[in-house]
Amino acid sequence: MSFANQPSRLLISSDDLSYGVGNSFTCVLPEPITGAVKADLLRAVVPNTGYPIPPYQSTFYYYISNVGGGATLQNFVLNTNQYFDGIIKDTTNGFYSYFPLITALNAAQSILTFDYNEPKNRITMVAAAGGGITVRPAPRADWPLNVPGRAFALNTRLGFIDSSAPALTATATASILPNLIRSKVVYVLCNVVMNDSITTDGLRTALAKIPTTSSYGGLTIYQPPYLNWNRLITQGSYQQITIDLLDDQYQPYPIKIDEFCEFEIVFKYNDIEDARLGRR
């Protein structure tokens, strides 16, 4: 067996993809990797995407009082084709945001008015229609059942959790600070490992779980504290390497092809020799 087909490391870059998109791509190697028995992620570089609120988290659910009493569930969708570098733009008080969240929220609809409560560091909303109309955010139990990643919605990202304004009120104030970080972690899935890792959602090809540590426009550079040495699917050859990236809700991590990412995978070949020498 030629050592030329047994590299100790393999650098996978989305710039070199053979097909796919930025968050799910395949690279076809010039030569197959043969004889490897274990693999692990040695290093990763993942961009902090410019789309901090993905489509499945972009809908805000709320109740607004009807004329004559009662309330109906309503919603609006935030434009997800932009990023947010701050909550508001107020140069008088030193807020120099160029892409403020509050402005985008108010531009997305006309029924509600969102604002920033500086003393409380919270986002507030009121019904813009006037005439004594009241409003409240809808609790999680009232969100549609068929929404992907139903554990989150724009309500969650804005800080309106289930206990926020349990009744119709003139003004609803978020319970926590808004979370403008799109995903706290990125799951790296790879076709060379299977059944050596598992998540509560049943993922069996997870090679690593990378914490998001960079701000918008930056790169998260990750290196594990130690190698876990995942077992490979087979002891045959690998010429196609597929990488899939998921966010903290197991949804596709939305990056484009031009927002490149790269991964360095390390391989181990002689498992019998390692066992004889007492190495892991």
Q: Where are the domains of the chain?
A: 3-50+182-276, 55-173
Q: Which helix (H) or strand (E) element contains residue 207?
A: strand 206-211
- Residue 28 has which token pair? 């076809």
- pTM flag (> 0.85): no
Q: Is 71 helix (H, G, I), strand (E, B) or coil?
A: strand
- CA distance linking residue 48 with residue 212, whole number of Å: 7
Residue 70 scores a pLDDT above 90: no
| pLDDT tens per residue, range 218-246 | 788 999 988 888 888 766 788 999 999 99
Query: What is the CATH architecture assignment of 3-50+182-276?
Result: Sandwich (2.60)
Confidence of residue 1 (pLDDT cuts 50, 70, 90): very low
Taking the alpha carbons at both ends of the chain, their separation in whole angstroms is 23
Q: Which pLDDT value is given to residue 82? A: 64
Q: Which pLDDT value is given to residue 169? A: 84
- CA distance linking residue 62 with residue 171, whole number of Å: 12
Give pairs for 155-163: CB < 8 Å, separation 24+: 155/60, 155/61, 155/62, 156/57, 157/53, 157/57, 158/60, 158/105, 158/123, 159/122, 159/123, 160/123
- CA distance linking residue 182 with residue 175, whole number of Å: 19
Q: Which pLDDT value is given to residue 234? A: 66
Of the chain, the percentage scoring pLDDT greater than 90 comes to 22
| pLDDT tens per residue, range 10-60 | 999 998 889 988 889 999 999 899 888 889 999 999 987 665 577 778 899
